[in-house]
Chain A
Amino acid sequence: MIKESDGKIGIREFVSIIVFSIILKVADMTPNLLFKEGMTATWMMPLIMGGYILLPLLILLSLLNRYKSKGLIELIYSITGKYVGFIISFVLTIISLLGTAVNLRDQVDILNTLFFPKTPIIVLLIIITISCYLIAKRGLEALGRTCWLLLPIIIASFILLVALALGEVNLEYIYPIWGPGLSQLFKSSLLHISIFGELFLMTTFYPFVRDDKKYYRGTFYSLFIIITGMVLSFLLYITVFDYPTIQKIAFPFQALSLYVSIGYFIANVENLFLIFWFIGAIMRFSIYLYVTTAIFAYTIKIEEFELLILPVSIVTIPLALIPENSIVAMRIFWEDYILKFTWPFFILLPIFLWIVDYFKGRVNDEVC
């Protein structure tokens, strides 16, 4: 019995997709944002953030479990109705779109600053967007399979980086241990929770995962991998570079990979890290493009959205060009406008949905 391809992906591929979309944030300017506020205790922040999102995520998952075969957007529509649903979904689309554009710009800025200083930003943007479009066009299955293939390689290169950096690690740099103080830590973690936003946005694909009993497990696996990866990376950054120096380094991951290749024997490993980082970044944005298109399509109630990926990609380019430079992009747009606005959204939305659903259920029961 050959199963005609059902467009569904297995839980392994799904976990890989989620991991790819979030873990690579340690390799752009996101750590810089966090170190500013978390100081020497920044490595604790992913753990705290994980704690914050656990409850809303669980609520959302339980809702999805009840309304089987509906993705996030469909769920929103069926719970809150046409108009409110449209508003909420549209906001989600905008969040996803802007997130993609700003992060894309940040990534391109890194490329521009470190590796291609004379190439105009728009050329880099176009090249990357076209490649991501080609990959996203292949569909969810292809994305999942490619991520599943690449995940062990990314993890292996990360472990290699840790191994090489051990010689330069000074554990004492993490003291004073609470950094800016516990209250400040908790506050900053809450404000930056949108870093984990993709976990919520990915639930759009809930009906596409083959075995939805495993969905819970898959989400926790991915959360576990992501948090471990983030904590380790931040620890690594702090113990090699120390605060406050780390705050002045714009791109800690690249700085680290350039720093650890020692002299003669290990000289070329940084090339490997570079290539893996590039590959990871491209996969990340292919996923973002796909997710944004999916959310948009479901918001306006289109089922087959492959053709929409192209327009979405094209729209991302001018959006990414709006900020003048990396500081404007990350610090102002991302942090001040987007992050600070969206964090309540991710926490409160599942609770809101649950409440509405609960009351609706009650009303229906009474009516019956």
Chain B
Amino acid sequence: MKSIVSFFKKIRNVNNKSTDRRNKKELISSKLAVNLNRIKEIFVYPKNQDFKIRKISIRSINRVGVILYLNGMVDSKKVEEHIIKPLQEEPCNDEKLTNIDLINKVINVSIADEIDTFQEIKKKILDGRTVLLVDGSRKAIYMDTVGFSYRNVEKPTAETVVKGPKESFSESTQVNRSLIRKQLRNEKLITEIMSVGESSPLDISMMYIDDIASPDLVKKIKKRVQDIKADVVQNIAILEQHLEERPYSLVPTILYTERPDRVAAFLQEGHVVLVDNSPAALVLPVTFWSFFQTAEDMYQRWAYGNFIRLIRLLALLTTLLAPAAYIAMTNFHENLLPTDLLLAIAATRENVPFPVIIEVLLMEISFELIREAGIRIPNTIGPTIGIVGALLIGQAAVDANVISPIIVIIIALNGLSSFAIPNTSLNYMIRIMKFIFSFSAYLFGYLGISISLTVTLSYLASIKSFDVPFLSPLSPYYPSSGDTIIRPPVWKQWLRPLNIYPQDKQRKEKVEGDDSND
């Protein structure tokens, strides 16, 4: 036992040592040659043919300098025209110019500043910035010339709406942040940038509105992000999995969304958003309602939005319960069916060789297979396969008395309903739970379903996403804008949901008077 403990201790110490080494600051020397050698060591130059070193002579201060950048990450035009050109052409006015003056007077790039450690140089170059080392100076200058390619802003693929903006995030933090800022022009909208990942660090931008979001929340999220010990966190989806509090639970606790307008709405309520070079953003903390609602509900008028919501609620319940209810009714509670329906079902099932549970499982699994396959089918034959699969195969199976037509109806209904669930995580959760419910229906009929429902509900009611209870503001009750299952008209939602403890409780003045606008 003792040896095991000491063994673990040793491993931990080894880890600490390497991180210590990485964290130690290495200052730049004033000798250009020394610096260059160190840099070549860090970037494995000349083996690494993407790493570019360009010697220039800086005319304005009459010294030699070196431009360092990583090919593929920089916009070479910018480097040529705004860095190299001015540095090499600006005439010399004053011998005693320092680096700062270089920045102020010569370099034409919008973002530029001084740095003095090798760690920082490494990071800046990796991020696509250009670094200028000047002979005789203890400080280096970095300039922002980020220019990697990325996809254009396109329509969202998973969260489409009929009415409302149709932009989605793209694979560039700059673009993503600009999309958000476009929607929310608030001077207190803050972006904090943190770096995540040990060996290949990436920048994560955290955005929140300073006078709305709770400072405890912001602190807590920051700490969690900084505590992530991973080699590399490639994109936001992986980050989500590092951040969540319950990795094994079926219930999602962080929202992954493609739409900047949704993000803007969440920021307004006091949530915190994480953005990086992925076509999505993370919103936390979240409640069940964030998964259940879509942007469209808000953009449509009151009656239409609520209508959509109610249909969606119905769809959710159908997906969850339809096969389970069918199993329960046909296996345990035949007496509760109307006689005619019963005889109709019995008639079609008489020659079917399988019991109901096997039928249901077969069809469910086939449907899941079709779903997964459908994502990857090439577009040209996609629709054809759909028709072939659904109609012909289904029909043939029914004709051959392998399955009964009732189950086809139920599964089809079920499948359609599951498409009405807007969020992918919620979708998977419901689909997996559908199997659990079907199984409990198989064991104990309606009792099984009730038990599963109640246990699920109490589980949902007890979990928290970053200290916000999952089902609030409905339960436990917090005063809010009333926007849970159904929503009040937009101008009546004057209260920010208090379940995430915003600092500023009201969006605007409380509405006095009656509903009409006269």
Chain A residues in the interface with B (C-beta under 8 A): 1-5, 9-10, 12-13, 111, 115-116, 127-128, 131, 134-135, 138-139, 141-146, 148-150, 263-264, 267-268, 270-271, 274-275, 278-279, 282-283, 286
Contact = CB atoms under 8 A, between A and B. Distances in A.
Interface residues of B, number: 38
A135 B475 contact: no
Interface of B: 214, 216-217, 220, 325, 329, 332-333, 336-338, 340-341, 444-447, 449-451, 453-455, 457-459, 461-462, 464, 467-469, 471, 474-477, 501
A3 to B, nearest CB: 7
Contacts of B476: 9-10, 12-13, 141, 144-145, 148
Contacts of B329: 271
A145 B467 contact: no
A264 B458 CA distance: 35
26 contacts: A1-B214, A1-B216, A1-B501, A2-B467, A2-B468, A2-B501, A5-B469, A10-B476, A13-B476, A116-B445, A127-B444, A128-B451, A142-B461, A146-B457, A146-B461, A148-B476, A148-B477, A149-B461, A149-B475, A264-B340, A268-B338, A275-B449, A275-B450, A279-B450, A279-B454, A282-B454
Contact of B467 (A4, A128, A131, A146): A4
A131 B454 CA distance: 9
A72 to B, nearest CB: 23
A264 B338 contact: yes
Contacts of A144: 476
Contacts of A274: 333, 336, 446
A24 to B, nearest CB: 13
Nearest to A141: B462
B453 A12 contact: no
Given A141-B476, A149-B474, A271-B329, A115 B445 contact: yes
Given A3-B501, A149-B474, A279-B453, 10 more contacts: A3-B467, A9-B476, A10-B476, A10-B477, A127-B451, A138-B462, A146-B461, A264-B340, A275-B446, A278-B447
Contacts of B332: 115-116
B214 A2 contact: yes
B496 to A, nearest CB: 14
B286 to A, nearest CB: 15
B475 A148 contact: yes
A270 B336 contact: yes
A13 B501 CA distance: 20
A108 B457 CA distance: 22
A10 B459 CA distance: 18
A283 B469 contact: no
Given A1-B501, A3-B501, A13-B475, A145 B462 contact: yes
Contact of B455 (A134, A149, A150): A134
B139 to A, nearest CB: 41
A248 to B, nearest CB: 21
A115 B447 contact: yes
A131 B455 contact: yes
Nearest to B339: A267
B475 A145 contact: yes
Interface secondary structure of A, over-half rule: helix
Contacts of B477: 10, 12-13, 148
| Nearest 5 CB-CB pairings of A with B | A278-B450, A142-B462, A145-B461, A267-B338, A145-B475
Nearest to A138: B462
Given A135-B458, A271-B333, A2 B217 contact: yes
B475 A115 contact: no
A195 B297 CA distance: 46
A146 to B, nearest CB: 4
A274 B453 CA distance: 13
Contacts of B446: 115, 271, 274-275, 278
A14 B325 CA distance: 32
A264 B469 CA distance: 43
A268 B458 contact: no
Contacts of B445: 115-116
A5 B467 contact: yes
A91 B477 CA distance: 35
Contacts of B458: 134-135, 138, 142-143, 145-146, 286
Nearest to B468: A2
A145 B216 CA distance: 25
B447 A111 contact: yes
A12 B473 CA distance: 13
Best-buried of B216, B333, B467, B476 by chain A (most CB within 10 Å)? B476
B462 to A, nearest CB: 4
A50 B477 CA distance: 28
A177 to B, nearest CB: 36
A282 B451 contact: yes
Given A142-B458, A145-B461, A2 B451 contact: no
B38 to A, nearest CB: 45
B216 A2 contact: yes
Nearest to B470: A145
A266 to B, nearest CB: 10
Contacts of B217: 2
A135 B471 contact: no
Contacts of A282: 450-451, 454
A279 B450 CA distance: 5
Nearest to A282: B454
Contacts of A135: 454-455, 458
Contacts of A115: 332-333, 445-447
Contacts of B336: 268, 270-271, 274
Contacts of B338: 263-264, 267-268
Contacts of B450: 275, 278-279, 282
A267 B334 CA distance: 12
A150 B457 contact: yes
A359 B272 CA distance: 58
Contacts of B467: 2-5
A144 to B, nearest CB: 7
B454 A283 contact: yes
Nearest to B285: A2
Contacts of B461: 138, 141-142, 145-146, 149
Nearest to A142: B462
Contacts of B457: 146, 149-150
A138 B459 CA distance: 7
A116 B333 CA distance: 9
B220 A139 contact: no
Contacts of A9: 476
A150 B312 CA distance: 19
B335 to A, nearest CB: 9
Nearest to A8: B476
A271 B444 CA distance: 14
B501 A139 contact: no
A198 B138 CA distance: 78
Contacts of B447: 111, 115-116, 127, 278
B271 to A, nearest CB: 13
A143 B457 CA distance: 10
A34 B28 CA distance: 91
A145 B469 contact: yes
A349 B48 CA distance: 86
A271 B342 CA distance: 14
Contacts of B474: 149
A247 to B, nearest CB: 25
A180 to B, nearest CB: 36
A8 to B, nearest CB: 10
